[in-house]
Amino acid sequence: MLKKITITGGLDKDGHPERVQRLDIGAGEVVGVVGPTGSGKTQLISDIEQYADGETLTGRSILIDGQTLQQSVEVRNLRHLVAQVSQNMNFVIDMTIEEFLIMHTQVRSIGSPRQIIREVLSMCNELSGEPVSLTDNLTRLSGGQSRALMVADVAMISQAPIVLIDEIENAGIDRLQALEILKGKGKVVLLVSHDPTLILMARQRVVMKNGGMDKLYQTTATEQKILADLLRVEKYLSRLRDHLRNGNTIDPKDGKEEWCYGQNTGTLSVKHQ
Amino acid sequence: MRFVIVAGTPSSGKTSVMLHTIRHLLKDGRSVAACKIDCLRTSDDARYRRLNIPVAVGLSDYICPDHFYVANLEEIERWAQARQADILVLETAGLCHRCAPAVYGCLSVCVIDNLIGMETPQKVGPMLSTADIVVVTKGDIVSQAEREVFRYKVETVNPRARILDFNGLTGQGSIRLKNEILKSRPLETITGKELKYPMPAAVCSYCAGETIVGRTYQMGNVKKVDFGGLEQC
């Protein structure tokens, strides 16, 4: 199992050494990657995926447990170093969830797939809130269900030690839970995002500028407080969504819950009576 | 001169893959010439020309583009040598799954994409199974799980090939393909080299311009559907 990856020695678009000259990410850690469009986020990810060894545009080297591609036989034999989950991805194969998961476990030479497939399914349903069953067809899944299944599959079946999560802003899945699951499986997680909740979920984040890694921040105590607020807002929104979607109105007289806006804190909350 | 043959299924991104890769080769100071074989018309040559390299186009017209391709290999080689190319990139028409353009001594690259279906690697046949390098594109729009299963299917058909994931839009993967090209051994001459697999054969009346349907109009190398021995008339 991979212990850490290191990104080192890169240049920005003008050929100057980038300000963050070394970034270590350990197994089970999440690093956010932020910056405007064109700042170099995609190139950074591309360097990692290609296992760059000083030859890409940025001149960066990627080390896995301190070794380059040339030195590490183990990693060279890995078919996939980086697993990706992004908003643009869809299942295109016309098969049931069960048939497909069996196929994927066979590819990974997993002997008794039944147990793992059950775990993937329950993880998926925990993440998406709209349950799916093994006999559902992959191409019929909603966006949220697809993303949830992708995360569960990456966590349980895929061998790739590094996971890249690219802009799953509002994919209708429990993102905090998804990150916890991936961390728990010892994956190195990189999170490219413009969404404040997701950005703050990463304990550290790297800021991209002009093609280079410009700054490296740890989340501050205040940011963590704000994150807690944001998560409350998300919970509120998701309950509100379910409430309305299930055909209910919002009138304190009909229901047990009172939906209100917290005037003092400036946040939204749900009060239980 | 290194002789690189690029085949692949329709719309898999052959030209995009090669454009990104040639850019890196040029950056390394290599001189590259590109030739595109197609059937009736092509606009791929315009895309190659934007790199300011020598570009040739061969249109096979009424002839099978693969037969046309193999019949012109020497001429294409001579054309590229006259332009002092270190590397010749020859892109086939890529219209037919039965296409089998690989030649011993050349580097054969097969480009296929993640969207063509899980069973397609088995269907593609010699174009895939005789390739030295298999480039798999469009991985950015399918799930990780499908990428892994698809790769496995490719490995089943061609266990010897190096398999590269490639994003034809961003060029991710192009440095690895460049390195594979530079690692390949230069070819002295294509003359006398051997196809790794025979081309699909067709010498019949329709090859010669016949247009009427019916047994009495068919001559030469004609093959009939086998319905299991009962229904043949």
In a domain, residue A63? The reply is: yes
User: B147 with B230, same domain?
Assistant: no
Residues A25 and A142 occupy one common structural domain: yes
Please give the Cα distance from A160 to B167 (Å, whole number).
18
The parent domain of residue B210 ranges over 201-233
Given a cut of 80, whether residue B9 has pLDDT beyond it is yes
Give the nearest chain A residue to B115 (CA atoms). A92
Asked if residue B211 is part of any domain, the answer here is yes
A223-270 pLDDT, tens digit each:
999 999 888 888 788 778 778 888 888 776 655 555 665 544 445 555
Residues B155 and B216 in one domain: no
| A136 found inside a domain | yes
Rounded average pLDDT over A41-46: 86
pLDDT at A84: 85
Question: From the list A80, A89, A160, which residue is nearest B143 (CB)?
Answer: A89
Distance (Å) from the alpha carbon of B130 to chain A's nearest alpha carbon: 21
Q: What pLDDT, in 10s, does the model give residues B190-224?
A: 999 999 998 877 777 877 778 888 888 888 877 77
Chain A residues in contact with B170 (beta carbon < 8 A): 42, 46
- B59 and B30 within one domain: yes
Residues A190 and A268 in one domain: no
Are residues A134 and A180 both part of a single domain?
A: yes
Q: In B, what residues contact A, Cβ < 8 A?
A: 114-115, 117-118, 140-149, 151-152, 163, 165, 170, 172-173, 175-176
| Same domain (yes/no): B23, B81 | yes
Q: Do B172 and B209 fall within a single domain?
A: no
- Same-domain status, B26 and B54: yes
Q: How many CB pairs under 8 A join A and B?
A: 74
- pLDDT tens, residue by residue, B28-43: 999 999 999 998 888 8
Q: What digits encode the pLDDT tens for the residues A77-100?
A: 666 788 888 877 888 888 999 999
Residue B190 lies in a domain: no
- Cα gap A10→A1, rounded to integer Å: 26
Q: Indicate if B165 and B207 belong to the same structural domain.
A: no
One domain, residues B61 and B130? yes
- pLDDT range class, residue A76, cuts 50, 70, 90: low
% of chain A at pLDDT higher than 90: 37
Residues B160 and B205 in one domain: no
Q: How many domains does chain B have?
A: 2
Residue A205 located in a structural domain = yes
A134 and A168 share one domain: yes
Could you tell me if residue B102 is inside a domain? yes
pLDDT tens-digit readout, B10-32: 899 999 999 999 999 999 999 99
- What is the C-alpha separation between A180 and A199, in angstroms, rounded? 14
Confidence of residue A172 (pLDDT cuts 50, 70, 90): low
Asked, for residue A146, whether it belongs to a domain, the answer is yes
Range of the domain at A247: 238-272
- Asked if the structure places residue B195 within a domain, the reply is no
Tokens of B187: 């070819």
pLDDT on residue A57? 79
Task: Assess whether B134 and B48 both reside in one domain.
Answer: yes
Nearest to B175 among A50, A89, A153 (CB): A50
Give me the CATH number covering residue A22.
3.40.50.300
The stretch A206-234 carries a mean pLDDT of 92
pLDDT at B137: 95
The answer on B142 and B60 residing in a single domain is yes
Where are the alpha helices (H) located in B143-196, listed in sequence order? 144-157, 174-183
CATH number, domain with residue B49: 3.40.50.300
**Total structural domains within chain A:** 2
pLDDT digits (tens, 9 = 90+) for B124-179: 889 999 999 999 999 888 988 899 899 999 998 999 999 999 999 888 888 889 99
Looking at every residue in chain B, the average pLDDT score rounds to 90
> Tell me, what's the ipTM?
0.71
Q: Which of A20-34, B77-91, B189-203, B211-225 has the lowest mean pLDDT?
A: B211-225
In a domain, A91, yes or no: yes
| Cross-chain Cβ contact A46/B172 below 8 Å | yes
pLDDT exceeds cutoff 90 at B229: no
The CA-to-CA distance between both ends of chain A, in Å, stands at 49
- For residues A138 and A182, membership in a common domain is answered with yes
| Partner-chain contact B115 A92, CB within 8 Å | yes
Interface check for A104 against chain B (CB to CB < 8 A): the answer is: yes
Angstrom distances, CA of residue A155 to CA of A48, A83, A106, A179: 19, 10, 16, 10
CB atoms under 10 Å from CB of B14, counted, come to 27
Q: Are A233 and A221 in contact (CB under 8 A)?
A: no
Q: Tell me, what's the pLDDT at A24?
A: 94
To the nearest whole Å, the CA of A34 is away from the closest chain B CA by: 19
Band of the pLDDT at A73, cuts 50, 70, 90?
low
Contact A64, A5 (CB under 8 A): yes
For A203-266, list the strands marked E by DSSP: 204-209, 212-218, 257-262
CB contact under 8 A, B152 and A107: yes
Choose from B118, B144, B172, B177 for mutation: most chain A CBs within 10 A.
Answer: B144
Measured between alpha carbons, how far is A162 from A173 in angstroms, rounded to an integer?
Answer: 20
Closest-CA distance, B141 to chain A, in angstroms, reads 4
Same domain, B97 and B134: yes
- The answer to whether residue A232 sits within a structural domain is no
- Name the residue facing B143 among A50, A79, A91 (closest C-beta): A91
Domain co-membership, A146 together with A42: yes
A226 falls within a domain: no
pLDDT tier for residue A6 given thresholds of 50, 70 and 90 = very high
Query: By the CB < 8 Å criterion, does A155 face chain B?
Result: no
pLDDT averaged over chain A?
84
Instruction: With cut-offs at 50, 70 and 90, classify the pLDDT of residue A75.
Output: low
A244 shares a domain with A202: no
Question: Chain B partners of A85 at a C-beta cutoff of 8 Å?
Answer: 143-144
What tens digit of pLDDT does each residue of B189-199 get? 999 999 999 88
Do the beta carbons of residue B65 and residue B37 sit within 8 Å? yes
Q: Is residue A185 part of a domain?
A: yes
Residue B144: which of A52, A85, A103 has the nearest Cβ?
A: A85
C-beta atoms of B145 and A153 within 8 A: yes
CB contact under 8 A, B140 and A154: no
> Does A137 lie in the same domain as A23?
yes
The answer to whether residue B141 is domain-embedded is yes
Residue B177 lies in a domain: yes
pLDDT of residue A273: 43
- Closest-CA residue to A48 (of A171, A191, A197, A169): A191
